[in-house]
Structure 1
């Protein structure tokens, strides 16, 4: 027969065991993107977003998953902006038991990772503009943001209004990451009555002289760098201006403006420039910047894809809680598809993608249009979340 003291000790041990079990619930989320090379900014945006989402959840005490309270850990892997690098990352994630991945960004990476993510039952939130970025064949691959087919139209209309453009040349790398988005962007220009030609270059090029000569000869009203990495775009623009090109610069492919301006030589060199901003920066978004500094004791990533991946990461953690599991990616995917996305910093979101990809797994959020006019950086314009319906 137990004494009262023995009973108290037994109860205390049970309580410690339960508490220890609750604290022991930890699982990993992956961050996959280029952490080296010309596209490093994009990879750092993904990594920073994953770390912030984890820190934010952990500060609240963790995620309530079923009967457990779980802490998040982040595993970041450099995909090197290649299919091989992304495939290797997927295998590493699988070996570590990672079921949820933010990233990767580029089409080659997504192409390399999708089959392995499917096979290993891992959800991935990518932001590729490839024609097959998502689809019914890839039920666990979600799209972090729509491509130019969804948001390009209002940007081209603004460019026509501001700069009177009638002809465009799109330039991008000669791989899937470049050709897919360049073709879509060209279609957006053509649909707005702008004659368009396409130009491609070998990824990693640092001397664009032959291409610059062809561009100068064609003399389009706008040269659009679409999905060209910011480092490459900056070099190209600098060489175009040095060669005497006076036209407008466009970018229907994504941000990286600060890096582009730094390499090209500043706003006075670029002069007239318009681009897609994944998010519209307002006070609510600036609050997210402050929260990042407070939680991680560092400056947030410069690239604005960071904010999109924060919104995607938050949606993912909500779906994990609603599904009640951090082990079954298919159940979490079911919860994601019906999740009403309302991000506290970015605003109301929509699930789209049926028209373009045949599956509604593309997260659409309000975005911005950036503009430099005659060397003066103008306030961004806000556009509500586009739809494909």
Structure 2
């Protein structure tokens, strides 16, 4: 059997590779029209998506806003900006992108390339709200543990570009929106906060979310959410020429990785592609499931892999460096407490766990003993949300650099039968 750590990393690499825009985008493009093509978009995969379109169609006009370090060589202009908390570069790039879209005519075709990260990168604060105020609310939401759909509801109502507003700007030009999903359930309305998708939520919904997660919003934000925001309702005639198409989603990557595991003699159980919840709580549940699965195995049984996707959250309690995948792995290592024959990996397919340039981590039965030998206290690291430094100390981080795609978290637990 392949070494467990090597196999787990190969499964993650397969999941990422299957979501590469260069592999998936061509099959979703119509023949290139005679008129002008305008490529616009935002997200961590958006520049790669533009590169893939131009590989099929040749040079196009347009503008993409992506994360620092995620640019690609394209004819389309690429603006790099901050993620997950927006900055002035993102605001300036978004303003120019909105102007381009608003100038499109009925004979043009607008291709919108949207992927995870667009919520922070496509930033145009609502009237009366400053960029710094929007940044503060965004940072507080990220630290609160709120699920991504609720964060994106607030973002839409504090924006002039999200919640269908980008698509409305393009009217009367037809728009084809190609989306790479990083949200549980793959609802286009929540991918990048739905800039090309109508939304039925209300400002009252956004206010309730801020209250539910104890977000102290400045007066300008509260005022913006008291009146009517620019979010475009479903069925609005300005959206009548928009087609939204999800071209890559977590389940495709999970199934591809599962096929590789089976080729290597493993039984695979996919727990779901849309798991949500507090990272440490889900980790404890999965550790229990792994122990129970191993207890039901007999010597000589095929080894088992439990695989899942989705997006977990972390409620900030300490001052450490971490992210949902690393925290999930640290909490699982503590829960397993060196159980023999159980290994696991958890990584974000975009190569960025939280705000760190680290995809995630791998654990083995000897993770905790090696950490203690290195002078690292696992329980204290978890209390401080310091999972990245914990795994850095023992060399078990997974570092990929920008993967140029984003189909959410990838988790796999490898369970060997008893000897």
TM-score, normalised relative to structure 1: 0.33
Q: Based on CA coordinates, which of the two structures has the bigger radius of gyration?
A: 1
